[in-house]
Structure 1
Amino acid sequence: MTPTTTHELRAELRRLLSEGQDSAVVDLLEGLHSADVAEIAQELEIPEVLAMLQLLPAERWTDILVYFDDELQSEILENFTGKEIAEVVLENIDSDDAADLMADLSEEKKREVLQNIEDVEYAKDLADLLTHAEGTAGALMATEMVQVNENWTVSRCVREMRRQAEEVEVVHAVYVVDDHDILLGSLSLKKLLTTGARTPIADVYDRSVRSVTSTTDEVEVARIMKKYDLFVVPVVDDMGRLLGRITIDDIVDVIQDEADSNYQLMSGLSDEVEAGDGLFEMTRARLPWLMVGLVGGILTSTVVGRNEGELALLPQLAFFMPLIGAMGGNVGVQSSAIVVQGLANSNMPGTLWSRLSRELGVGLLNGLLCALAILAYSWAVGHGLLFAVAVGVSLLSVIIFASLFGTAVPWALNHYGIDPALATGPFITTTNDILGLSIYFAIANALLG
């Protein structure tokens, strides 16, 4: 039976490698996309991965290497000398992928790799890419691209494009520059094919081109490409000189990483973790917000302790404490999640005050409906009308407060350059537990004496 699932393929690959059936390994992997091979091999031991890669042509296994996670890439490259990395690995991949692979190497090995690259211009481009700060457009871009001069004719442009295309695996766009490499626009292949051979490029290129600078944050690059529906965007320096380009496949990784980071922050994880991380990494990521929750629990118990007299006189107050805390936390998380999502997508219309006014209306309506429901329930089970009113008013107040608090906090964090995703999850729920119960006891004490 032919293996089809990732698990079956991995088991079969492991068996063939252990039995030394080299040709069968090649046949098994033939026809599979490099990303699929990387997924299959991701869980293998390093010696098994190396044995598999050595059976494949250099162009094939270097393409697979790009799809491995950073940790596995580093472990594999540790088994190669700088000369081998320069001559075999970097020879077969784009400059942006090459820079990503080299980023995790030691400084000594980076120098060794660069010294062994025969193409001096490529080595210079790669060294320049490594100087860009992580998380910027410069660190994402590739330098392989097709560019033409505005002073050329269409016929010369076609000749130059053919020459440049030999060094570029996929031609995403044709950029037009001046004599100083200043980006002027882009050239449509349709216009190139339908225009006379002697026509100057200056007469046919499109001047409305979107670009980003090398220092632009990668999240902002993703926002621009999404907003303008771009599959490639040119990168320029502060003078407007063309440096490289970023393609949509690089941005998909950025979007995924940003979504994972926000989700983990909202879940109360201080560091990025994966299911396969070790005990120490998992503990370090979870413990900080657990300690915040612990401190919040202590403060909540302090609030309860200070109202021990009211609880002694009216023990039924304790029945609704979990409800007050849970509703405040849920409403706060809902409000903050909407704001965080809007800020992440740059789709947050109006001012903070207009947003708070809107949330006040939403909180008031939701609070009234929930308060009427709990008032009816409390009165129906025999707690008395005044007590039921106290619980209902408390719930209404907590929901309104949580709506406003959950909206204001992420907005304020974003204003001061702090990731607003911190405002969701444990922070909001813990804070609303403390303040919600304080509001509950204050209203109960005022109405019930």
Structure 2
Amino acid sequence: MPFQLTDDFLSQVEQHIANKDGLALKELLQELHFADIAEILEELNSDEATYLIKLLETELTSEALMEVDDDVREKILDRLSPKEIAAELEEMDTDDAVDMIAELDEDIQKKVIDKIVDEHHAADIVELLKYDEDTAGALMAKELVQVKETWTVAGCVREMRRQAKNVTRVHSIYVTNKQGQLTGRLSLKDLLTAGEKAHISDIFIPKVDYVTVHTENEEVARIMQKYDLEAIPVVDENGKLVGRITIDDIVDFIKDEAEKDYQMAAGLSQDVEADDTIWELTRARLPWLVLGLFGGLGSVYIMQGFEEALERFPILFFFTPLIAAMAGNVGVQSSAIIVQGLANDNVKGSLFNRLVKEVGLALINGSTLGLLVVIFGFIAGLDPLVGITIAVSMLSVIIVAALVGTFVPIILDKRGIDPAIATGPFITTSNDIFGIFLFFFISKLVLDF
């Protein structure tokens, strides 16, 4: 049965911690997976969580620390000494170790690295810290299995046994030349069926997908998704094999990017969580709210310019929320589809073809909704000319909103700006302004005021 963290179980854990009964606590938790330990850590206060981390074996706690929320981990690390943090890092793969140590202040980082007993492991961590965080170099792990193309099968197997001790999961076996440059990959089946005296150069597969240390994370994710890879090797500027990226790292990256884009689409300018301070939440929310405020003031200014229309046809005032809402909704729909397509590299073809497609789609949707407005006006007893004015305005607004929602993300992407910024408040506010202006402008033309 999967582990279920109940209130009763959590109370037992808290009671054992309060009593400093380490033996009872170890016995209670001995059968749990590290993900279950992480779930418990997130429910404890910082002091209790720290006690638990110090009590349990580092093989277990190192995995659990990588599963907990960033804020929880940060509070626990603040209560651990550099030596205790170093002990946790020694049990981690280098990519996880770098992720954790990067959260510490630089002076603490140096103290922690100095306490790592395995000098080779420490050197690998220092190397990975030098890469930009959005590149494959920062995402990769140094642990992998590599063999030389000049080795025999027997020698290869002996060396693989030695290397595999330091690798959590062996996804692939990479082949390099004497200079350490990546030349291919080795099939486990071919290795097992080949004679012991056969050379790796005779059985390895020279075709292998790879990325460089400077490849952006989004491109790494795209390549792994396209070719359905569980792992991908990473090479330096000279083609030398320096690490690998596994699918779990890419899943974490995609999750983080999705959360960031979701928050950006919702009008949050930085990554925040519900438990963050009021000041942090305010800084994240306020910029987009200010944008919405100015957008609303712009709409007021536009409506003031058509004061005569509101005096002669006051019914128009009651339809302005409808026009603004339709403009914002259509813009968000269009931008969301394009942003998703850009993220998945599915936006193909020329801009002209995209223009024709969006205009056609907007004409169909706008005409349908406009017809419904005319029917509503007829049933409600509106002046037919007013009903036609609202319908034509809605059609025009939908076309413009669809074009804005489509091409703003594309333009931002071409200029190297995250297109996710084009969804949510940005598109809604701009289309509200365009929509209200078009509404009154078309009303002026049709109703002749």
Deviations 1:250-307 (A, max 9, x none): 1111010010011111101001111111111111100000000000000011111111
Q: Judging changes above 3 Å, is the alpha-carbon distance between structure 1 residues 377 and 39 closer, same or farther for their aligned structure 2 residues?
A: same
The runs of 5 or more residues in structure 2 that have no matched partner are none
Describe the SS at the equivalent of 1:184: strand
Which letter does structure 1 place at the counterpart of 2:228?
A: D
Q: Tell me how far 1:8 sits from its aligned partner.
A: 4.8
The residue number in structure 1 matching 2:435 is: 436
Q: TM-score, normalised by structure 2?
A: 0.96
8 Å CA contact 1:6, 1:40 repeated in 2: no
The residue number in structure 2 matching 1:13 is: 13
The residue number in structure 2 matching 1:68 is: 68
The residue number in structure 2 matching 1:106 is: 105
The residue number in structure 2 matching 1:260 is: 259
Q: What does 1:154-233 align with in structure 2 at a 5 Å threshold?
A: 154-233=153-232
Deviations 1:151-189 (A, max 9, x none): 111111011111111222322211100011100111111
Q: Judging changes above 3 Å, is the alpha-carbon distance between structure 1 residues 6 and 344 closer, same or farther for their aligned structure 2 residues?
A: farther
Distance 1:192 1:174 in 2: 10
Distance 2:213 2:35 in 1: 28
Which letter does structure 1 place at the counterpart of 2:372?
A: A
Which letter does structure 2 place at the counterpart of 1:245?
A: R
8 Å CA contact 1:352, 1:411 repeated in 2: no
Distance 1:74 1:265 in 2: 24
Which letter does structure 1 place at the counterpart of 2:222?
A: R
8 Å CA contact 1:7, 1:40 repeated in 2: no
Deviations 1:310-340 (A, max 9, x none): 1011111112111111111111111111100
Q: Tell me how far 1:442 sits from its aligned partner.
A: 0.8
Q: Tell me how far 1:381 sits from its aligned partner.
A: 1.7
Describe the SS at the equivalent of 1:42: helix
Distance 1:253 1:293 in 2: 32
Q: Judging changes above 3 Å, is the alpha-carbon distance between structure 1 residues 145 and 341 closer, same or farther for their aligned structure 2 residues?
A: same
Q: Tell me how far 1:7 sits from its aligned partner.
A: 4.9
8 Å CA contact 1:360, 1:400 repeated in 2: yes
Pair 1:306-2:317 in alignment: no
Q: Judging changes above 3 Å, is the alpha-carbon distance between structure 1 residues 137 and 7 closer, same or farther for their aligned structure 2 residues?
A: farther
Q: Tell me how far 1:125 sits from its aligned partner.
A: 1.4
Which letter does structure 2 place at the counterpart of 1:106?
A: D
Q: Judging changes above 3 Å, is the alpha-carbon distance between structure 1 residues 78 and 383 closer, same or farther for their aligned structure 2 residues?
A: closer
The residue number in structure 1 matching 2:410 is: 411
Describe the SS at the equivalent of 1:198: coil
Q: TM-score, normalised by structure 1?
A: 0.96
The residue number in structure 2 matching 1:30 is: 30
Equivalent pairs, count: 447
Distance 2:418 2:301 in 1: 30
Q: What does 1:91-102 align with in structure 2 at a 5 Å threshold?
A: 91-102=90-101
Pair 1:370-2:369 in alignment: yes
Which letter does structure 1 place at the counterpart of 2:59?
A: E
The residue number in structure 1 matching 2:127 is: 128
Describe the SS at the equivalent of 2:43: coil
Deviations 1:385-422 (A, max 9, x none): 22211111111111111111111111111110111111
Q: What does 1:344-383 align with in structure 2 at a 5 Å threshold?
A: 344-383=343-382
Distance 2:20 2:116 in 1: 34
Describe the SS at the equivalent of 1:234: strand
8 Å CA contact 2:90, 2:118 repeated in 1: no
The residue number in structure 2 matching 1:342 is: 341
The residue number in structure 2 matching 1:244 is: 243
Distance 2:380 2:75 in 1: 65
8 Å CA contact 2:265, 2:421 repeated in 1: yes
Larger CA deviation: 118-127 vs 281-290: 118-127
Which letter does structure 1 place at the counterpart of 2:275?
A: G
Which letter does structure 2 place at the counterpart of 1:213?
A: T
Which letter does structure 1 place at the counterpart of 2:17?
A: L
The residue number in structure 2 matching 1:281 is: 280
Larger CA deviation: 400-409 vs 106-115: 106-115
The residue number in structure 2 matching 1:141 is: 140
Larger CA deviation: 402-411 vs 56-65: 56-65
Describe the SS at the equivalent of 1:125: helix
Larger CA deviation: 104-113 vs 205-214: 104-113
Distance 1:81 1:18 in 2: 22
The residue number in structure 1 matching 2:42 is: 42
Distance 2:315 2:105 in 1: 65
Instruction: Tell me which stretches of 4 or more aligned residues in structure 1 moved more than 6 Å.
Output: none
Describe the SS at the equivalent of 1:437: helix
Q: Judging changes above 3 Å, is the alpha-carbon distance between structure 1 residues 369 and 84 closer, same or farther for their aligned structure 2 residues?
A: closer
The residue number in structure 2 matching 1:426 is: 425
Larger CA deviation: 407-416 vs 349-358: 349-358
